[in-house]
Each structure stands twice: as C-alpha cells, then as structure tokens.
C-alpha cells in the first residue's frame, strides 16, 4: 500500500520524517470552538491574581516572582513558567521550556483552505497548552508546514522561541532556503537555525568546507537573521564531529530508550555535548521501534520537490521508507499513554538534554503536555519503572530506530 502523504525531511539514509494526521476527528483540540470558553478566561484572571499576591508576599529580590509579576501585568501567552525551563544556548544563557511543538504535524494541511485548522492547532498549543518553543523545516510537507505555521504563529511570535532548519549543504542553496523560510514564517529572524538531518561524512565536509552552508549561517548571524546555530543528526559519529567543531550552539539527536539500551546510540552525543556546552533537543523520544514493509505504508517519491534538494530525493528512492498508517510517522510511536509518558520522561532525565520534541502528531501532544505542564522540575522515574521498561521492550520483536549494528542489505545503523 502506498501512503498518500507529504514528505518530511529526516528521511535520511534510513528514514522518512514524521508526517502527521490532519485534523483527526478524535482530536477535539483542533476544533476552533474549544480554545475560547469562560473557564479559560477565569483561569487566566485567577492566575494573574495569584501571581501578584505571591509577589507581594515574597522578597522583592526574587527573580522568579519578578517574572511572575511581569506575566501577570502583561498577560504573557504562553506563560514562560508553564513548563520547567533548562539552559539551551550557553553562549547567550538562553533557556527554553522542556517541551516543544512538533510543527511537522502541520505538513498534511496541504491546501490553503486548511489554514484555519493550522491556526486552531497552534492556538491550542500556545493558549491551552502554553507551549513556547516551535520547531519547523521546509522539508516538512515540502514547504507546507512552514507556510501554515507562519500565519498561525503570527499573533504570538514575539513570545515564542522559533527554530527552523535547512537540508541544503552549500552556501547558495542554504541562503535561498533561509530567505524562503523567513518569508513563509512571516518573521525577520529565527531564534535558532539548524543544518537538517546530518548523516554522512560528506554532509559534514560540505557544510564546513569552502562555499559550505556554514558560511550562510555565520553571515546570517552577523545580519541578525538568526540568533544561534545548530544541527539535527541521525548519525552519532557525525553529530560528535559537528559538536567538536566548536561552531554550533545546539544539537538535535535521537535520545530514545530503545535505541539507547538495545542499539547503543545516544550516550556519545550527550557526553560530547556536555563537554562542549552544546544544548541537546531529544528527538524520537516517543518511538517504540522501526516500522517494516508489513506494518507501514510505502512513501511515494515525486519527480521533483520545491524545498528538498535533488540529492535527498534520490536518497529517498534508494532507501525507501514506510510510515505509520495511524500517525504518519516513519517509526512506530508508543501509543500506550502510560508507556509513552515514561519514554518522554526517560529522555528528559538524561543528563545534557534541554528539551524534547514529541511525536509529530497532535493526537499525542496533550497527554505529554499534561505530565510536564505546571511542574517546576521534570518528574523522575523510579528504578522499578526503568527496569519495567527494559522488560517491556526487551521482549518485543522490534528493531531500534537507530543502532550501531550492521544489517545486511539495509541502511539502518548510524
């Protein structure tokens, strides 16, 4: 069966990026009528009153209560203290909330008539879930996700940490891609710009070489068009090389329980990131394992793309991928809510991790938000819970989404 989907951009030598469901009827959070109700406004007024009262009863030197007073006075949405915050960009002492919005979930809204759905999804994430960190890429739906996100995020842009990516490895292509992304997102700058899906030595050599994309990034930073430089990777050796270059502020990498325990992937990146003071976003934390041709739908590759380089299209042909029939992700997400939440908490409790991007579907976002929102610290897992996770996944017949094993006839290792 061939999946009728739009393309994501982590379809590296082994994968297709998360592509998510469009306004599932089971997801009441996407209804335009649910974001505004009397209970919401009552809660905002109550929160403001409590914040001011706490400030008046606390020492005026407390920076936390000064932040609360500012929120109460200006009714900042999203609330910057809604989630635990962690240091992300050491150079500028920038913190972010531990949960981001998976903008790939907008990639299936391919028609301009779908913009109200995108508006509703973003409004729910910002106003109801209080999410203040958004990540997107042109490869998500071949430009669709960023085109939908721009207008939807416009009312909240000044209070959002916004990150984007480029798949282009050369100076000229990445410059054009950056300008297109700024236009689509209706903003004059990005808080973070990232090299997308670094997987091979050629990727690293091209990016850092003469006329490579790093030149675009550094020039854009001087121009104020980007505030920080980062990358995403699916190869542990390549990620470590990028971290050790000293040229990046952040790293996105799969910090996944199954890949870590049964594939040997993740700790090397975390160690290097800690050593070089590079912030880490945990990708694929909610993944159970890799899909097979029997459990997933084949992805059709078109004759051309608008926002994805030709070499990437050829790679998608040479290394075919499948996606989840239910969630449109290129891996099998854990859909047992209790177990999914354990996977996310495990990733967040790994030393060096600043935040997670959840599976790219709105269907799972609310539940993950619920276990983190309103907390001052990320909840810990007990040793008994971790041992239970090992037993659960150890007996499953699954292949980790990333691992350091060589499998004949495939390209599934890092």
Write out the DSSP string of 42-75.
Answer: HHHHHHHHHHHHHHHHS-TT-HHHHHHHHHHHHT
And the tokens for 335? 């859909």
| Displacement of CA 243 from its chain's centroid (Å) | 19
pLDDT in tens, 330-356: 788 898 999 999 999 999 999 999 999
Q: What value does the mean pLDDT of the chain take?
A: 84
Percent of the chain with pLDDT over 90: 65
pLDDT in tens, 157-167: 999 999 999 99
Confidence of residue 9 (pLDDT cuts 50, 70, 90): very low
Q: Residue-wise over 286-301: b if at least 16 C-beta within 10 A, else e?
A: bbbbbbeeeebbebeb
pLDDT in tens, 268-299: 999 999 999 999 999 999 999 888 778 888 88
Statement: residue 69 has pLDDT above 80: no
Better-scored residue on pLDDT, 247 or 412: 247
pLDDT for the residue 274? 98
- pTM for the structure as a whole: 0.81
Confidence of residue 40 (pLDDT cuts 50, 70, 90): very low
Better-scored residue on pLDDT, 307 or 340: 340
Confidence of residue 36 (pLDDT cuts 50, 70, 90): very low
Summarize the confidence of residues 61-85 as an average pLDDT.
66
Statement: residue 179 has pLDDT above 80: yes
Could you tell me which of 76, 118, 70, 112 has the C-alpha nearest to residue 97? 76
And the tokens for 334? 């854990």
Could you tell me which of 276, 286, 228, 229 has the C-alpha nearest to residue 254? 286
Least confident of 130-134, 195-199, 262-266, 328-332: 328-332
pLDDT for the residue 74? 59
Better-scored residue on pLDDT, 65 or 267: 267
Residue 382 DSSP symbol = P
CA distances 59 to 38, 53, 55, 62, 345, Å, are 33, 12, 8, 6, 33
Confidence of residue 405 (pLDDT cuts 50, 70, 90): low
Q: With contact defined as beta carbons under 8 Å apart, do 101 and 135 qualify?
A: yes
Could you tell me which of 291, 365, 288 has the C-alpha nearest to residue 321? 291
């Amino acid at each position: 069966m061939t999946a009728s989907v739009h393309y994501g951009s982590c379809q590296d030598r082994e994968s297709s990026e998360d592509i998510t469901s469009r306004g599932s009827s089971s997801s009441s959070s996407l209804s335009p009528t649910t974001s505004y109700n009397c209970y919401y406004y009552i809660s905002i007024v109550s929160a403001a009153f409590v914040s001011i009262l706490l400030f008046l009863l606390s020492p005026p030197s407390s920076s936390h209560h000064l932040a609360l007073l500012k929120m109460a006075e200006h009714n900042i949405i999203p609330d910057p203290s809604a989630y635990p915050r962690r240091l992300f960009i050491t150079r500028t002492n920038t913190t972010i909330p531990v949960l981001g919005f998976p903008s790939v979930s907008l990639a299936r809204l391919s028609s301009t008539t779908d913009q109200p759905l995108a508006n509703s999804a973003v409004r729910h994430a910002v106003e109801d879930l209080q999410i203040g960190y958004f990540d997107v890429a042109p490869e998500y739906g071949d430009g669709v996700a960023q085109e939908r996100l721009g207008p939807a995020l416009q009312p909240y842009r000044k209070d959002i940490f916004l990150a984007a990516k480029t798949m282009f490895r050369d100076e000229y292509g990445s410059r054009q891609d950056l300008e297109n992304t700024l236009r689509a997102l209706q903003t004059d700058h990005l808080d973070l710009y990232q090299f997308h899906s670094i997987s091979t030595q050629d990727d690293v050599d091209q990016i850092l070489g003469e006329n490579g994309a790093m030149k675009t990034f550094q020039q854009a930073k001087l121009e104020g068009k980007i505030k920080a430089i980062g990358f995403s990777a699916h190869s542990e050796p390549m990620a470590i090389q990028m971290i050790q270059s000293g040229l990046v502020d952040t790293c996105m990498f799969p910090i996944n329980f199954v890949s870590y325990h049964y594939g040997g992937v993740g700790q090397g990146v975390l160690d290097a990131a800690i050593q070089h003071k590079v912030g880490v976003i945990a990708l694929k934390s909610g993944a159970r394992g890799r899909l097979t041709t029997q459990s997933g739908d084949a992805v059709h590759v078109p004759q051309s793309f608008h926002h994805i380089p030709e070499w990437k299209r050829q790679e998608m042909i040479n290394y075919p991928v499948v996606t989840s029939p239910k969630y449109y992700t290129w891996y099998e997400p854990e859909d047992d809510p209790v177990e999914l939440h354990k996977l996310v908490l495990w990733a967040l409790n790994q030393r060096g991790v600043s935040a997670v991007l959840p599976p790219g579907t709105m269907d799972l976002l609310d539940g993950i938000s619920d276990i983190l929102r309103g907390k001052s610290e990320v909840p810990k897992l007990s040793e008994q819970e971790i041992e239970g996770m090992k037993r659960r996944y150890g007996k499953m017949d699954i292949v980790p989404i990333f691992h350091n094993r060589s499998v004949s006839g495939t390209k599934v290792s890092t």
